[in-house]
Amino acid sequence: MAPLKKPAAAEPYRVPSLIESSPEYASLLVKQVELQTRYGELNTERGLLRREIEVAKAAGGKHPSLAVAALLGDNTEVSVAGLSKKLREVGTEMANVEAATEILRRRIDEARDAASKVVCDTVRQEYQRRLAALCEAARALEAAREEHDTLLDDVEREDVRLGYLPPVRPFFLGDRGQGHVHHFIREAKGAGYNV
């Protein structure tokens, strides 16, 4: 006798990512990482330049301008003036990266909105199916609750002391007939779903 084979399990539903749904969004995120990396490099360079300037100033002596240092044949790149110039250039580039990052953040927000619409359009049918199943289960729960409460009503009508039962009331469902299930289904219909 041949062993029974298990049926293949259905693949779980997978929501596409924003990156998969929008090449523009993906490229903007890559650019954002590049800018963050560049800003980090510049920040490190700025810290090193500040320390070098402090060391150069601590070494004493006069600090000639770049033009004077060049005429004297001094290494202008390690002079205080040269290091200060480089520090200003790094600061300017950091400001440019900050400005670009802010513009990029706005572009990412816009691209995220467009990509989100694509994802929502893609999952709409599956969402409708799952929402309908949830509403059906909620209606079944509400019907079971009504049967449960009707039995307790009948017992109470006979003036029975319920403490011997003891009953468990589903207060989490809200009021009978107008509780949370009713509001949930009305909200789903109000959102345009046929449930």
Per-domain residue ranges for the chain? Answer: 18-191
- pLDDT the model gives residue 127: 97
Instruction: Render pLDDT for 59-73 as a digit per residue (tens, 0 to 9).
Output: 765 566 667 666 777
- pLDDT the model gives residue 33: 98
- pLDDT the model gives residue 9: 72
Q: Determine contact, residues 31/104, Cβ cutoff 8 Å.
A: yes
Over range 116-120, report the average pLDDT: 98
Q: Determine contact, residues 173/140, Cβ cutoff 8 Å.
A: no
Over range 24-34, report the average pLDDT: 98
- C-alpha–C-alpha distance, residues 12 and 126, integer Å: 12
- pLDDT the model gives residue 6: 67
Q: How confident is the model at residue 56 (pLDDT cuts 50, 70, 90)?
A: confident
Over range 111-133, report the average pLDDT: 97
Q: Determine contact, residues 81/63, Cβ cutoff 8 Å.
A: yes
SS (H, E, C) the chain: CCCCCCCCCCCCCCCCCHHHHCHHHHHHHHHHHHHHHHHHHHHHHHHHHHHHHHHHHHCCCCCCCHHHHHHHCCCCCCCHHHHHHHHHHHHHHHHHHHHHHHHHHHHHHHHHHHHHHHHHHHHHHHHHHHHHHHHHHHHHHHHHHHHHHHHHHHHHHCCCCHHHCCCCCCHHHCCCCCCHHHHHHHHHHHCCCCC
- C-alpha–C-alpha distance, residues 73 and 69, integer Å: 6
Instruction: Render pLDDT for 58-107 as a digit per residue (tens, 0 to 9).
Output: 776 556 666 766 677 766 556 788 889 999 999 999 999 999 999 999 99
Q: How confident is the model at residue 10 (pLDDT cuts 50, 70, 90)?
A: confident
